[in-house]
Amino acid sequence: MAMDPLIRYATVLAGVNVLLLLPLVGVWVRNYSTFRTNLVLGLVVFAVAMLAENAVAVYYFFSMSSFYSGDPHVQQAVLVLRGIQFVAIAVLSYVTVK
């Protein structure tokens, strides 16, 4: 069954979030091996949890697209939430990699 366009956009955003989170996890894991601080450990756990959350979201969008079809409001809400999360992760990536 074909995916509705809004859910397809949301899936793409979740995929981009995964791609942004991978280097963040990389930086923080490497820094944790240098500094061993709770701050960096917290960031590693945070990024891994966000990574899992986005991967699960992609899985749901594919496997349960019938849940979302037929209700454009739900699709819109899902897309907005993914969009806000994308902004948050993009900004955090920028300040961390700079």
Instruction: Determine contact, residues 28/40, Cβ cutoff 8 Å.
Output: yes
Site for other proteins contains 76 (CB under 8 A): no
Nearest distance in Å: CB 52, other proteins: 20
Q: Give the total residue count for the chain.
A: 98
Q: Which is nearer to other proteins, 28 or 86 (CB)?
A: 28
Q: How far is CA 42 from the centre of its chain?
A: 17
Given 4, 14, 28, 78, the residue binding other proteins (CB under 8 A) = 28
Residue 46 binds to other proteins (criterion: CB under 8 A): no
**Torsion angle, CA of 20/21/27/33, rounded to 10 degrees?**
-170
Residue 22 CB, shortest distance to other proteins, in Å, is 14
Rounded to whole angstroms, the Cα distance separating 25 from 43 reads: 8
Q: Are 83 and 13 in contact (CB under 8 A)?
A: yes
- Choosing from 5, 35, 64, 81, the residue that interacts with other proteins (CB under 8 A) is 35
Residues that bind other proteins (CB under 8 A): 27-28, 31, 34-37, 39-40, 43, 95-98
